[in-house]
């Protein structure tokens, strides 16, 4: 995989030019894209800025995020060839930093659950997940050092786990959603994919203009800082049991964290957090019904069967049900603050198991929904193994993205020492 941090080191030393760094990505795309199908479109002759902290970094942009120089197709024939007049705010931020938005990455139609044709480069014959399928697959295949995705349920963390890459879904609204196709304004969150935790930490620090996020500086965690992180192990029993392979991966991550000096203890989530998990679907469906009202009214037959069925069912949702679900969420966020009074981070699974076989499903987001609804930062940490990729997620309190990344990096390094 292409590492953003490693590329930045070479660029800073002068051993690699920005133009040569972009060529590395282009050559990797030429070699791997025919087999993976992670890109919806790409620039043939990009202009490469010579300056900026991300100069020479090629970025994939999920195809629900507006770009002025590439189509934004939403993963749907309804928007085939559609060209926005302006870049989304996050794309403009990338450009201001010197990055090249080299390609649009495939997405499930309107960031839903209908699968794409993208293949999983790290698990042949299995789904890359969704809806940010192309972003996860492009990074996993080594075509791009950084890619943007979005998460409404589990569309960043789940495909990252399935493809064996690092990813962060930051705190809600840390990154701007202006110019991104809305599914749920209470849930939609931009996320980042990279080869490792250092890469997504470095990128998020720059994009959010928060230097302390980079490598968790200022978190006060880790043996070198004299403070061992307190980690709560959360089973999410209300979401069902993970598959044996995923349970084993979580156990490995716990042992690695403890060897690295962390203090890990079981942590049960009190009411109303389980009730909030159940309310996620009501909020998402009620808002999606409004966000996609034009597409549903004018092009219902062209929608994917899963999304069409969800919108059909959403027509019967009442404002009272929606308001009740939001109240559950508000109460749960207050309670979660108290949970984090006793621990620095939560450790839980990123998905039920490895990526499902075939391309008929993007996988189940049930272990991601609560954290998206809570608006808290989540980081996927790949767990090395002999089979298909697996991942665990580190969750921290709202606004404490640097702490989530610091704990994730501690676990990542400890797992690497095992191999």
Mean pLDDT of 82-104: 98
- The reported pLDDT for the residue numbered 418 is 84
Out of 62, 104, 169, 181, pick the active-site residue: 62
Above 60 in pLDDT, residue 365?
Answer: yes
Above 50 in pLDDT, residue 224?
Answer: no
What residues make up the domain containing 28?
4-215
Above 80 in pLDDT, residue 218?
Answer: no
Note the pLDDT tens digit of each residue in 266-303. 999 999 999 999 999 999 999 999 999 999 999 999 99
- How does DSSP classify residue 111? G
- The reported pLDDT for the residue numbered 217 is 55
- The reported pLDDT for the residue numbered 227 is 72
Domain assignment of residue 340, yes or no = no
Query: How many CA atoms does the CB half-sphere of 324 hold within 13 Å?
Result: 10
Note the pLDDT tens digit of each residue in 5-26. 999 999 999 999 999 999 999 9
- For 189, phi and psi rounded to 5 degrees? -140, 130
Domain assignment of residue 198, yes or no = yes
Domain assignment of residue 95, yes or no = yes
| Portion of the chain with pLDDT greater than 90, in percent | 96
Mean pLDDT of 400-407: 98
- The reported pLDDT for the residue numbered 215 is 79
Out of 3, 155, 171, 219, pick the active-site residue: 155
Mean pLDDT of 93-119: 98
Mean pLDDT of 107-131: 98
pTM beyond 0.85: yes
CATH of the domain at 167: 3.90.1300.10
Domain assignment of residue 88, yes or no = yes
Domain assignment of residue 15, yes or no = yes
- For 52, phi and psi rounded to 5 degrees? 120, 150
- For 327, phi and psi rounded to 5 degrees? -65, -40
If one counts the domains in the chain, the total is 1
Tally DSSP H helices, then E strands, for the chain. 13, 11
Above 60 in pLDDT, residue 183?
Answer: yes
Mean pLDDT of 49-67: 98
Domain assignment of residue 284, yes or no = no
Out of 108, 131, 132, 350, pick the active-site residue: 131
Distance between alpha carbon 20 and the CA centroid of its chain, in Å?
A: 28
Domain assignment of residue 224, yes or no = no
Is 131 labeled as catalytic in the residue annotation?
yes
Token code pair at residue 127: 């789904």
Q: For all residues of the chain together, what is the average pLDDT? A: 96
Is 62 labeled as catalytic in the residue annotation?
yes
Above 60 in pLDDT, residue 350?
Answer: yes
- For 345, phi and psi rounded to 5 degrees? -160, 160
CA distances for 212 relative to 206, 208, 260, 383, angstroms: 10, 10, 22, 26
Positive or negative: CA dihedral 102, 196, 349, 266? negative
Domain assignment of residue 13, yes or no = yes
Note the pLDDT tens digit of each residue in 231-273. 999 999 999 999 999 999 999 999 999 999 999 999 999 999 9
């Amino acid at each position: 995989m292409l590492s953003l941090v490693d590329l930045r080191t070479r660029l800073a030393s002068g051993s690699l030019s920005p133009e040569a760094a972009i060529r590395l990505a282009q050559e990797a795309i030429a070699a791997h894209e025919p087999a993976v199908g992670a890109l919806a479109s790409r620039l043939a002759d990009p202009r490469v800025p010579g300056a900026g902290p991300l100069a020479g970094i090629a970025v994939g942009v999920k195809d629900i995020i507006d770009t002025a120089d590439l189509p934004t197709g939403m993963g749907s024939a309804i928007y085939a060839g559609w060209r926005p007049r302006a870049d989304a705010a996050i794309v403009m931020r990338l450009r201001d930093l010197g990055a090249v938005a080299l390609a649009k990455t495939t997405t499930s139609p309107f960031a839903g659950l209908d699968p794409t044709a993208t293949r999983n480069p790290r698990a042949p014959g299995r789904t890359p997940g969704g809806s940010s399928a192309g972003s996860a697959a492009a990074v996993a295949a080594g075509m791009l050092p950084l890619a943007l995705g979005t998460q409404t349920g589990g569309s960043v963390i789940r495909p990252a786990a399935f493809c064996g890459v690092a990813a962060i879904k930051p705190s809600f609204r840390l990154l701007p959603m202006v110019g991104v196709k809305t599914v749920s304004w209470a849930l939609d969150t931009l996320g980042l994919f990279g080869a490792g935790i250092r890469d997504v930490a470095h990128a998020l620090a720059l994009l959010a203009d928060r230097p302390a996020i980079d490598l968790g500086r200022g978190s006060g965690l880790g043996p070198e800082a004299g403070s061992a992180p307190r980690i709560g192990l959360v089973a999410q029993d209300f979401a069902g049991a993970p598959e044996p392979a995923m349970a084993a991966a979580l156990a490995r991550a716990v042992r690695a964290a403890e060897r690295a000096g962390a203090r890990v203890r079981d942590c049960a989530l009190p009411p109303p957090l389980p009730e909030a998990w159940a309310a996620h679907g009501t909020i998402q469906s009620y808002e999606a019904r409004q966000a996609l009202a034009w597409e549903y009214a004018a092009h219902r037959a062209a929608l994917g069967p899963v999304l069409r069925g969800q919108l059909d069912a959403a027509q019967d949702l009442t404002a009272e049900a929606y308001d009740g679900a939001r109240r559950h969420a508000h109460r749960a966020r207050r309670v979660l603050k108290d949970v984090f009074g006793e621990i620095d981070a939560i450790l839980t699974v990123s998905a039920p198991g490895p990526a499902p076989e075939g391309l008929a499903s993007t996988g189940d987001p049930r272990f991601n929904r609560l954290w998206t609804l809570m608006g808290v930062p989540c980081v996927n940490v790949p767990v090395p193994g002999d089979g298909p990729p697996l991942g665990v997620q580190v969750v921290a309190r709202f606004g404490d993205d640097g702490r989530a990344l610091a704990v994730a990096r501690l676990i990542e390094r400890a797992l690497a020492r095992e191999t």
